[in-house]
């Protein structure tokens, strides 16, 4: 399976699609009708009113994110050759995540952060990049509307802008405009709805749900995967072009922003930890398994970590 996922074979596409489809069935079988993780009670009420709404939201967001992760991972020399490993890893764990945290806003946050990263990846040595930074900032502005503590991801954009480009005021200006625009749209919605409580709910919110003690030890296998992936990414710098180094450095800036997000939300929910590890594992883990010939201990390690990471989700769902 590893050899197939590390290739661009048609069966790799089928394997990713099949994993997503089985994830939809899994989510439907163990679906939780009560949703309480959005900062706006109206959204919690909307999703809790119908299991179909939960399933459709989860399934569509997961599918979109799988597609965007695949395009992001295989563009701008982030990795050489076609590779479906990142898409498959995310499809698998996003389905497991949704079983424990139904219709969670972090699913939408995954999509927004990957979209923003893709926009920043595309700016390397281009003359006209204002629209890229505007788009990236807009996605991060939307993310902060739904999860206020995700402002650290917006800081990642500023750091990446300073790293990848010289001080061109137009690019900074368009980034600010893109980030502010979602808030202006939100204010207009509040004004039209004549419901100032929405602003108070946003200001007072810390997104999170009840602590899932069964998932505590997920930090161990996810942490091991992260370290292995980070090691593989750093080792890949030696044979990377300047464009590839720029792309990988930008991804590390955003992934460190994800880890900062975990620190801010650690006491609120384990969903925060899983949020960051899903993004980090999807974009880093394949680097440890992209060699031409994988040794037996690599395959055994992958299998053991996969089982160790999946079991807490499965045991929580069937309990």
Sequence-separated contacts (24+) of 47-50 with Cβ below 8 Å = 47/102, 47/103
State the DSSP code for 34. -
Q: Which pLDDT does position 127 carry in this prediction?
A: 74
Exposed, middle or buried, 167 (CB in 10 Å: 0-12/13-18/19+)? Answer: exposed
Q: Which pLDDT does position 121 carry in this prediction?
A: 84
- Name every residue whose Cβ is closer than 8 Å to that of residue 270 and which is 6 or more positions away in sequence: 211, 212, 215, 216, 218
Q: Which pLDDT does position 271 carry in this prediction?
A: 64
Per-residue pLDDT reduced to its tens digit, 180-228? 998 888 888 777 766 666 666 665 554 444 445 556 667 777 777 777 7
- Name every residue whose Cβ is closer than 8 Å to that of residue 243 and which is 6 or more positions away in sequence: 76, 77, 124, 125
Structure tokens, 313: 């989700």
Q: If DSSP codes are grouped into helix, strand and coil, which group holds residue 31?
A: coil
What is the distance between the alpha carbons of residues 220 and 308, in angstroms, rounded to a whole number?
9
Mean pLDDT of the chain: 78
Q: Is pLDDT of 297 > 80?
A: no
Structure tokens, 101: 């945290």
Q: Are 284 and 230 in contact (CB under 8 A)?
A: yes
What is the distance between the alpha carbons of residues 298 and 232, in angstroms, rounded to a whole number?
13
**Residue 245, Ramachandran bin (φ over 0: left; ψ between -120 and 50: alpha; else beta):** alpha
What is the distance between the alpha carbons of residues 72 and 86, in angstroms, rounded to a whole number?
10
CA 265 to chain centre: 15
Domain boundaries in the chain? 2-318
Q: Which pLDDT does position 250 carry in this prediction?
A: 83
Q: How confident is the model at residue 8 (pLDDT cuts 50, 70, 90)?
A: confident
What is the distance between the alpha carbons of residues 195 and 302, in angstroms, rounded to a whole number?
51
Q: If DSSP codes are grouped into helix, strand and coil, which group holds residue 6?
A: coil
Q: How confident is the model at residue 25 (pLDDT cuts 50, 70, 90)?
A: very high
Q: Is pLDDT of 268 > 60?
A: no
Q: If DSSP codes are grouped into helix, strand and coil, which group holds residue 69?
A: helix
Q: pTM to 2 decimals?
A: 0.85
List, in sequence order, the alpha helices (H) in the chain: 2-5, 10-29, 41-48, 51-73, 85-100, 105-121, 130-146, 151-164, 169-193, 197-203, 219-236, 242-265, 270-284, 296-318
Angle subtended by helix axes 105-121 and 85-100, to nearest 10: 160
Q: How confident is the model at residue 52 (pLDDT cuts 50, 70, 90)?
A: very high
Residue 200 Cα distances to 147, 165, 305, angstroms: 14, 37, 42
For range 262-287, the mean pLDDT: 62
Q: How confident is the model at residue 63 (pLDDT cuts 50, 70, 90)?
A: very high
């Amino acid at each position: 399976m590893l050899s197939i996922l590390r290739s661009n074979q048609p069966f790799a596409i089928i394997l990713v699609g099949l994993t997503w489809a089985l994830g939809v069935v899994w989510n439907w079988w163990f679906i939780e009708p009560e949703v309480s993780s959005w900062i706006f009670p109206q959204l919690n009420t909307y999703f809790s009113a119908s299991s179909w709404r939960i399933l459709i939201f989860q399934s569509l967001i997961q599918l979109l994110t799988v597609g965007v992760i695949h395009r992001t991972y295989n563009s701008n020399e982030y990795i050489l050759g076609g590779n479906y490993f990142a898409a498959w890893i995310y499809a698998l764990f996003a389905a497991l995540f949704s079983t424990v945290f139904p219709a969670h806003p972090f699913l939408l946050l995954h999509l927004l952060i990957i979209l923003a990263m893709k926009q920043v990846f595309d700016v390397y040595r281009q003359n006209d990049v204002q629209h890229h930074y505007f788009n990236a900032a807009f996605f991060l502005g939307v993310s902060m509307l739904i999860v206020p503590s995700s402002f650290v991801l917006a800081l990642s954009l500023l750091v990446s802008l300073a790293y990848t480009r010289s001080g061109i005021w137009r690019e900074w200006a368009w980034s600010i405009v893109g980030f502010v625009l979602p808030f202006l749209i939100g204010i207009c919605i509040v004004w039209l709805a004549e419901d100032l409580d929405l602003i108070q709910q946003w200001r007072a919110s810390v997104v999170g749900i009840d602590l899932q003690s069964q998932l505590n030890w997920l930090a161990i296998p996810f942490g091991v995967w992260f370290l292995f992936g980070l090691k593989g990414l750093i080792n890949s710098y030696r044979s990377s072009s300047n464009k590839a180094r720029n792309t990988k450095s930008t991804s590390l800036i955003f992934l460190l922003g994800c880890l900062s997000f975990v620190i801010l939300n650690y006491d609120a929910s384990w969903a925060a930890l899983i949020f960051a590890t899903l993004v980090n594992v999807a974009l880093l883990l394949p680097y440890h398994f992209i060699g031409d010939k994988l040794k037996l201990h690599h395959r055994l390690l992958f299998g053991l970590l996969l089982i160790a990471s999946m079991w807490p989700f499965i045991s929580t769902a069937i309990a």
